[in-house]
Amino acid sequence: MLDNDFKTLNAFIHTARHGSFTAAAQALGLTPAAVSKSVGQLEQSLNTRLFSRTTRSLSLTAEGEHFFTQAETALALLQQAAEHISGSGRQYAGTVRLSVSNVIGRNLVLPCLHALQQRHPLLDIELDFEDRIIDFVKDGFDLVIRGGHIAESSLVSRALSPLHLCLAASPGYLAQYGTPRRVEDLPQHRLIARRFASCRYSPWYFRQDGTLLPFEAARHVLTFSDPEACALAALDGSGIAEIPIYLALPHLQAGRLKVLLGDCHHAGDYRLVLQYAHRNLPPRVRVVAEHLFAHLSQHPGLHTAPEELAAFAV
């Protein structure tokens, strides 16, 4: 890929992430006019409009959304490949401190650390499992990975993937209690809830006549603050739970869980995000960030669309 192709693709990705040419320009150290010109060149080369522009807003078109999802992954892999070639085996050394939420750390981050340290044996990784809001300066972290609705902040945020949800139960539970065919059937079932640290329950959402409607049960037989506990409870037949697809997929493929109400259940708009305090990362931190991005961009559980779960429905 030519250097100019990198620049136009990078301009598009930053504009899509930040929602404006001005914010993208600040992130890239360019002028808004230069970023806008690069995006225009990309659109011209693709013969496709990627953004809808008005005097007050900038938003991705349907084609732009599709292109952004794939382009972000592709650029990360290309940059990693280029760095590997140009680095000629360069070794990074030092300590990198990461803060990750518990379930994400255990299931998504830990499995990719061995390959990272095989490639860079002089890197020392400190991984803190916690869900609290952290202070980069005070707590001394280099990188943070969180999932959910990420609030606006002064931190640099890099979207890693969507975090889609599915509604599931075990075959044993369904054999004993029956299969809900409509949302209206759910109150007659044993339901498993997730509650956030704020003590707020996470409602389930369903599509009805083009509108998203929340479903909040009058009773939950089990309530957990941890999504993996919800998955384990569903696996042992305790009830119906809303589970992140990356946790559910292996059990769906093995037949240990079944998808329910997939035609109307809303998979959510949560995202997995990598955050850091400064745009110019030290090389030891940057190589860890790029490794995580490349690994997670290929994780099947993070990139299985909700509609692909139809094969696992009852």
Mean pLDDT, the chain cut into blocks of 10 residues (314 residues total): 71 87 81 91 91 85 88 74 56 89 94 93 92 72 85 76 94 98 96 82 90 90 94 98 97 98 93 82 89 89 92 93
CA distances from 256 to 83, 122, 215, 232, 249 (A): 42, 41, 25, 11, 10
pLDDT, tens digit, 9 for 90 and up, residues 89-138? 567 889 999 999 999 999 999 999 999 999 999 999 999 998 777 676 67
Strands 58-60 and 94-100: unpaired
> Do 224 and 194 touch, CB atoms closer than 8 A?
yes
φ/ψ of 77, rounded to 5, equals -70, -40
The distance between the two most distant Cα atoms of the chain, rounded to a whole number of Å, is 63
> Do 291 and 112 touch, CB atoms closer than 8 A?
yes
Instruction: Count other Cβ atoms within 10 Å, centred on residue 57.
Output: 10
Nearest CA to 98 out of 119, 84, 79, 113 is that of: 113
Q: Out of 3.40.190.290, 1.20.90.10, 3.40.640.10, 3.30.420.40, which CATH number does the structure's domain 165-269 have?
A: 3.40.190.290
Into which CATH architecture does domain 3-85 fall?
A: Orthogonal Bundle (1.10)
Residue 109 neighbours by CB under 8 Å, 6+ apart: 98, 100, 127, 145, 292
Domain 91-160+270-296: top CATH class = alpha beta
pLDDT at site 24: 84
- Tokens found for residue 155: 């931190």
Domains 3-85 and 91-160+270-296 agree in fold: no
- Tokens found for residue 279: 């745009």
Residue 98 host element (H or E)? strand 94-100
pLDDT at site 238: 98
Domain ranges of the chain: 3-85, 91-160+270-296, 165-269
Residue 248 host element (H or E)? helix 245-253
